[in-house]
Structure formats: structure tokens, C-alpha cells
Amino acid sequence: MLNIVDLRNDFDGSIKKDLYKKLTQRTGTQNGTNTISIVAEIIDNVKQNGDSALKEYTKKFDKAQIETIKVSEEDITAAYKEVAPELLETIKKSKQNIWSFHEKQLQNSWISPKEDGTMLGQLVRPLEKVGLYVPGGTAPLISSVLMTAVPAKVAGVEKLIMCTPPSQDGSINPAILVAAREAGVDEVYRAGGAQAVAAMAYGTETIPSVDKICGPGNVYVATAKRLVFGDCDIDMFAGPSEILVIADSSAVPEYVAADLLSQAEHDILASSVLVTDDVSLLDSVKTEIEKQLLGLKRNEIIEKSLKSYGFGILVDNLEEAIEVSNNIAPEHLELCIKEPMSILGMIKNAGAIFVGNYSPEPLGDYMAGPSHVLPTSGTARFSSPVNVDQFIKKSSLIYYNKQSLEATNNDIVRFAEAELLDAHANAIKVRFNK
Amino acid sequence: MLNIVDLRNDFDGSIKKDLYKKLTQRTGTQNGTNTISIVAEIIDNVKQNGDSALKEYTKKFDKAQIETIKVSEEDITAAYKEVAPELLETIKKSKQNIWSFHEKQLQNSWISPKEDGTMLGQLVRPLEKVGLYVPGGTAPLISSVLMTAVPAKVAGVEKLIMCTPPSQDGSINPAILVAAREAGVDEVYRAGGAQAVAAMAYGTETIPSVDKICGPGNVYVATAKRLVFGDCDIDMFAGPSEILVIADSSAVPEYVAADLLSQAEHDILASSVLVTDDVSLLDSVKTEIEKQLLGLKRNEIIEKSLKSYGFGILVDNLEEAIEVSNNIAPEHLELCIKEPMSILGMIKNAGAIFVGNYSPEPLGDYMAGPSHVLPTSGTARFSSPVNVDQFIKKSSLIYYNKQSLEATNNDIVRFAEAELLDAHANAIKVRFNK
């Protein structure tokens, strides 16, 4: 079911080029001007009419007539009763692992005092208020709540709020509410779509404005995030999920097939790619995929996904496999090879790297600890997994005394004059009576 | 010339509220749909027609008919001959200070191996290719080139390119070319406006596509950055410059006045704010401003700027001054008070903090070391000065062995099933023959 691409005879590089394009541009990030104007209108309406606009959109888009936007303590208590105790334990364990991993990322403010009396440094502080968007839909994204909220709380975010669209009866999936509470989310609101993004960006009577909005969503949510960006911060744009497995003859076809299938079930736009130098491994993986697929519930989605974006890529050697991976910059990269640690230094672009036969991608989705919110569609070239860095900000610190300023005062004046800014030069001159 | 605001009698907080709004919303970050469609067309044209589209726009917008887009070695050698030797020395000193400060920010990749055989970590790597936009105009932004390019090079960026619009004769200011070479910029191109942003985002025959685009620009440049964001990364949106000085009776009116004036000369939208609990200091600063203004070349800009966005704010005490500052989240914050270090912990939002009477803002603009590219318009709430962090990316690292995966395999399966993703569960089950 995988599309086979043989790069061993790609003499002019044209096959590679087409492949990279196909895999990194599965969805455009440009939004049509029509979507932009619809979303801009929603944002304006929420800005001007606050809660009443929100309720109106919730009625229109979510078919839910809600009275209160904020989820109450009673709702949350009730949710705990509906979640299986084993699942609650699993959620707690997952939260603990996420917390431990992210705690190691905390940075200190620092200073660098020098003999000449100067002192420079950086103050590191958490964002004060963060908003998390959680889409609705049939499959509850329990783990995504943990994987965004916990890093924010570890960073020290004081107020973490969450917006999610309600069902038609106004309810929210209890597992989502429980995960939110366990992760430390302070307040949950019934609001979805572009209107929820607008509410978190500008505030309403009920929903406070935040400094940063995180979380995936449909094209309206993504467009709204793009439009409010600058008035508050936003996280990355989440595209369809993807995995790339680099495997050699030491890999287990059964495992590789299962991991490719697990990615393909997300979405018909999801991409599952195997890159190997071993033709017989590729054959075995293909056979295993056909076999395992029969027992899987989401086989229709998987078939469509593999047909469009499932690839088995043959290369001459491991170096070429890494080159292919670096160009695709996959969200998830599995290394099912003999000596995975020896190639870490060659991997330039990847959201998360899963090392060895017993680190399958679902381990990272749920339990390992690093956030599963990862850069997609080739954006691992320039962006990072959700982690503590995204919930802190820094301020530069500059201290000079009279002597150290005097030692450099001519440079400052010269620079200011070269840039034709004489009031800048004046600010130095007045201090030394020039 | 300062607008006086007395917060000592602001019983209902309404004066504060108006003030914060006025100061943080000096420019909207929303771009009109008309600008969006103009810029979208430019981007499409550059995407499709590359260099020839670039040359066409350079002729249209910059009135320059250029033959080669890339600046040659000969151009750069010639530029060195045109720059005064003292200025070159100052540029070199500044570069060294910026380099030293940013070197202290380099982060290591790290791992956390545990007794149970698991190993988690983060790989830290530089972005491969970065593009720097430098606007044209009368005052050459020599220092801005250094303040963006050096942090990128410290981070380890392999290929750093620069685009800047040429003069009508096709030339580029020699001091800009020299600063670019000193800072380590690898290639300079004659291209400006939205078309330069498009070229760096998608590449042309001459200009390579980059992973991140940095640098300030007019509304077309800013809109282009917003539209290409996602296909590559972008830095912050730069608004008009601003300073807030917190001063008490220990401050020197002459210095405070000079620092406020230095900010006001940037732009009629620039903002200069003094917050003090000392009425007599405020009076003396006002007098000093009138006095010093007479000797400054850009006095017309300064007068307009101060009239619109120059404020002298009276507060009851230092705590209230800090509260005002945190709400405005100034780009530059000067602490001209008796014990500045004792309040650092209370400052939540500021781009750069200048401590004491001998750390005037122009010191930071040119020589101190921290980048002068700082968050404006209140965005210090959620963003940081340009620093090494913006030129690196991280990948998560996950390694489990058979035993450690087995220990958590039930959790993963449970989680996957709760999210209705049975191929995820299958990826675990196949490894333990379930």
C-alpha cells in the first residue's frame, strides 16, 4: 500500500525534489482572502460585543445554546465521576512524566559582572496569562491538553485558561475537563472557533485576554491566530501529523509497520514514510502493513492516508537516508537502526527523535514526557516542540558606571552621529559636560 | 512639552486605563485587507517569476534599474574605502561586545539518562539559513545590522543573507555594507519591500530561501512577513520605539531629559514617558527638555513626538511606578532611582532594563552588547529581545528499552483507546505479542 520511490537511480535529483515538495506541502499555510474576511469580521464582533457575540456564534456554529460560558466547579466535579479510575491514574502518571521532563528546561536569570564595573545579563520570567485552544470533535484530545498545559505551568504561567467548543447540549467531554484540571488549567470556557481565539486575544466580560494563545484548530482557528498575532503571541501552526522511519536490516518489520500505521490513522492527510537501504525489509514491512491493517478500526482513513502520503523510499546507504530525513524535517523521526546514537549529530531537522526498537511514536504521544506538540510540514527546520521556552520571556539588563560609560562614550557619539541621531549623542554628552 | 498625567487622584483607575491604551496601541498590528491583497499579489509574482519580478519591483518602487541583484566583492571592498577609519573601529568594538554578550547564551544539547534505562533529552541546533531585512531611508541603520546579524552568527547560523533596497543609482550605503561584512553576513542582495520578503521566503534564481526572516520594515514588509509566516519563521513586528524612565528624587533632571529626547527623535510615533513620585523632579525635567531641545537637529520630530506620546506621570510611590511600567511593558526601561537593583524582581515586562544614572538608552543602542532589537508596543509581555534563542531550534530525544516500555505499555494502550486511536495501541501491542 506504500508508494515505492527508488532514490538509488535519482541521478539528477528530480525525484527527491518532487518528493520533498509533496511531503512538506501537504497543506498550504496561506489562508484564502475569503476566509480572512470572514474571520476578521468574527474578531471585530467579539472585540465589540464580547460575551454576547460569543454566545451567538456558539449557537450558530456549535448548535449549542449556552447560558454560562465558564465551566463551573460542579461541572468539573461531575466530570471526575465519569472518568474511569484507571484512566485517571494514567493521566496522572503522564502528567508527572511531562512535568519532570520540562522541569529540566527551566532557565535562570543570569548576570555577567565585569572588572570594569559593567554588568550585563538577562532576566527570565514566565508569561503571565496563557490561553489554550482545544478543538471539539469525536476523538477527545486528552493527551494534547496535558502536553501543552503542563509545560506552561512548569514555566510558571500564573493564569492558564482553556477554550473548547461545547457539544450541542452545552457539555464538554469529561476526560478533557479532568485532564485540564490535572494539568493545572485554571479556568475552562465553552467557546470554539475563531471567536474563542478573538476572546482570548482581546478579552470579554467573562474571558480574560491572554499573552499567548496555543493549540491546534481548523482553518478558521488558524486564520484567527494569524490575525491576532502581534496583539498577543501564538504558537506554531499545526499541520497534519507525520512520521519518518529510518530503518536498516536490524529493524523489525512488524514494529515498523505498526508505527507507520499508527501515524496514518490520524488523518487522510497524515504522512507515513519509511526510508531504508534494505529492499527485503521494505518488502516485509509492506506485507506486515497489509496484514495488520485488517485488524484496525480506522482502516479506511489509513488506506486513504497511505495511498496519498505513505512512502517506502529506497536509498543507497544510511547517509542518504539521513539527508532525505533532513530535507523532509519530519515531525516524528524513528531510528530503527543498529547504532542510532552514532547518527544523532547528523540529524538537523526533526520534531522528536525516537531511538531504537522500543521507542515507538505512541510512547511519545502519551507517556514519555516531551510534549507531543511538535513542528509539522517541514517547520522543524525552524521551530521546536512545545517546551518551557515558549512560556517564558527575557529582558536584557544593562548596567554601566560613570567610568565604564566614559570609556566608551566616544564610540556611542560617533555611532549616533553616523546614524544622524544627534539627540542620542546628546544623551551621552550631557553626562560628561561636553 | 510633556503631557502631565497625575495618577495620584485616579480613584477609579480610568486615567490609567486610557493611558495604557494610548501608549500600547500607537500603531495597530492588523493590516488592512487592501494591503493584504496587494502584498499577496507581490508574493505570488515573486514565487512564479523570481529574479525578473524582483527587478521589475525594484524599478517600480525603488526607481532603480539594477542589473545584478547580488552585491559583489568589489562593491564591498569599495565600501570599506568610503567608511571613516574611526567609525570602522567603533563598529568592530560594538561587534565584539555584542558577540561576547550573546556567547553567554549558547545552550548545550542535554540528556537525562535514568536508572530504569530510559533516556530523554533535547538536541539544540542552529537554524541553517536566516535572512535579514534592512530598510532603506535617509538614516543608515548601521547598528541594526550588527544587532541582528551577530546574535545569528553566534548561534551558529551557516548562511546569513541580507536584503536591502538600493538607491536610485543601484548603490547601497557603504556603512551598511561594512557593518554587514563585519557582522558576518554572507551575502547581500539589492531588494526591498514585500518582494524581498517573498524572495527570502521562497527563493529565486539568485536569492536562496531561508528558514527565518528578521528585521523591521514598513507596512508592506510587515504584511509580507505575516503572510509568509509558517512557510518560514519570522521575528517580531517592530513598532515605533519607546522609553519609560522611572525616576525618584535622586535622578539627575539633565540626564533624564536627554534620555527622553533621544527616544523622541526617532519618529513622531515614538513615545517618551517619565514616571516619578517627585513633583519637583518632573518640573526640572520639563525645563531641561525645553532647554536641550533648542540645540537638537531633529527638534521638529521631537516636538511632535512629545506632544502626542510624551508623558510625565505622577505617582504616589515607587511601587505604583513599577505597576504603571509593567502595564505599559516598555521597550526600554530606565531605572534612575536610589536602589535600582532592589526592584528588579518586581519588573515583569520590559525589553531592556537600563540601571542607574550612567546607563542611558543610547549605550544599549550602540555599544553595551545586548541586541537593541527589542519588543515594542507592549509586546514585552510575551516576547524577548533578539538573542541567540531566536536562531536555534530544539528536537526532543526519546529512548526507552524493552523493560522500560513494558513497564508503561498498559498506560499507552489505555490512553490510545480513550482517544479512539487503536492503531496507536497496536504499535505497543505488537511489541509484546498481545
| C-beta of residue B166 within 8 angstroms of C-beta of residue B71 | no
Q: Do residues B85 and B164 share a domain?
A: yes
Cβ contact (<8 Å) for B112 and A125?
A: no
Domain boundary residue, one of B234, B265, B285? B234
Query: Which ipTM score applies to this complex?
Result: 0.94
Give how far B398 is from chain A: nearest CA, Å. 5
Cβ contact (<8 Å) for A395 and B351?
A: yes
Q: Which of chain A's residues have a Cβ under 8 Å away from the Cβ of B117?
A: none
Quick one: closest CA in A to B264, which residue?
A: A423
Give how far A350 is from chain B: nearest CA, Å. 6
Residue A31 pLDDT exceeds 60: no
Position B383 in a domain: no
Position A395 in a domain: no
Q: Do residues B210 and B291 share a domain?
A: no
* Domain coverage including residue A322: 3-27+239-368
Q: Do residues A210 and A248 share a domain?
A: no
Q: Do residues B224 and B343 share a domain?
A: no
| Active-site residue, B331 included | yes
With 0-12 CB in 10 A as exposed, 13-18 as middle and 19+ as buried, what is A395? Answer: buried
- Closest in A302, A348, A405 to B358, CB measured: A405
Q: Residue B21 — very low, low, confident or very high, per pLDDT cuts 50/70/90?
A: confident
Residue A164 pLDDT exceeds 80: yes
Q: Do residues B135 and B227 share a domain?
A: yes
Q: What is the DSSP letter of B70?
A: B
Rounded to whole angstroms, how far apart are CA atoms A313 and A273?
7
Rounded to whole angstroms, how far apart are CA atoms A293 and A139?
20
Domain boundary residue, one of A351, A368, A385? A368
What is the pLDDT at residue B32?
A: 65
pLDDT digits (tens, 9 = 90+) for B255-275: 999 999 999 999 899 999 999
Alpha carbon B346 to its chain's center: 23
Position A373 in a domain: no
* Cβ of residue B416 closer than 8 Å to a chain A Cβ: yes
Position B389 in a domain: no
Rounded to whole angstroms, how far apart are CA atoms A363 and B401?
12
Alpha carbon A129 to its chain's center: 18
Q: Do residues B88 and B218 share a domain?
A: yes
* Cβ of residue A399 closer than 8 Å to a chain B Cβ: yes
- Closest in B110, B226, B424 to A362, CB measured: B424
Q: Do residues A85 and A213 share a domain?
A: yes
Position A304 in a domain: yes
Domain boundary residue, one of B316, B348, B368? B368
Q: Which of residues 259-278 of A touch B (CB under 8 A)?
A: 259, 261-262, 264-266
Residue A229 pLDDT exceeds 70: yes
* Cβ of residue A294 closer than 8 Å to a chain B Cβ: no
Cβ contact (<8 Å) for A412 and B367?
A: yes
Cβ contact (<8 Å) for B33 and A29?
A: no
Cβ contact (<8 Å) for B422 and A265?
A: yes
Q: Do residues A190 and A79 share a domain?
A: yes
Q: Do residues B77 and B98 share a domain?
A: yes
- Of A331, A334, A361, A372, the active-site residue reads A331
Cβ contact (<8 Å) for B265 and A423?
A: yes
* Cβ of residue A123 closer than 8 Å to a chain B Cβ: yes
Position A387 in a domain: no
Nearest alpha carbon to residue A185 among A70, A303, A348: A70
Partner residues linked to A272 by β-bridges:
A243, A310
* Cβ of residue A88 closer than 8 Å to a chain B Cβ: no
What is the pLDDT at residue B28?
A: 47
Domain holding A325: CATH number? 3.40.50.1980
What is the pLDDT at residue B29?
A: 46
Rounded to whole angstroms, how far apart are CA atoms A421 and A425?
7
Which residues of B fall in the annotated binding site for substrate?
Answer: 241, 263, 266, 332, 365, 419, 424
Q: Do residues B310 and B181 share a domain?
A: no
Position A406 in a domain: yes
Q: Do residues B192 and B227 share a domain?
A: yes
What is the pLDDT at residue B143?
A: 94
Q: Do residues A130 and A266 share a domain?
A: no
Q: Amino acid letter at B56?
A: E
Give the cell for residue A409: 562614550
Quick one: closest CA in B to A141, which residue?
A: B419
| C-beta of residue B219 within 8 angstroms of C-beta of residue B42 | no
Number of domains in chain B: 3
Position A132 in a domain: yes
What is the pLDDT at residue B434?
A: 62
pLDDT digits (tens, 9 = 90+) for B306-336: 999 999 999 999 999 999 999 999 999 999 9
| Active-site residue, B300 included | no
Q: What average pLDDT does range B39-62 have in this prediction?
A: 96
Rounded to whole angstroms, how far apart are CA atoms B360 and B380?
19
| C-beta of residue A385 within 8 angstroms of C-beta of residue A374 | yes
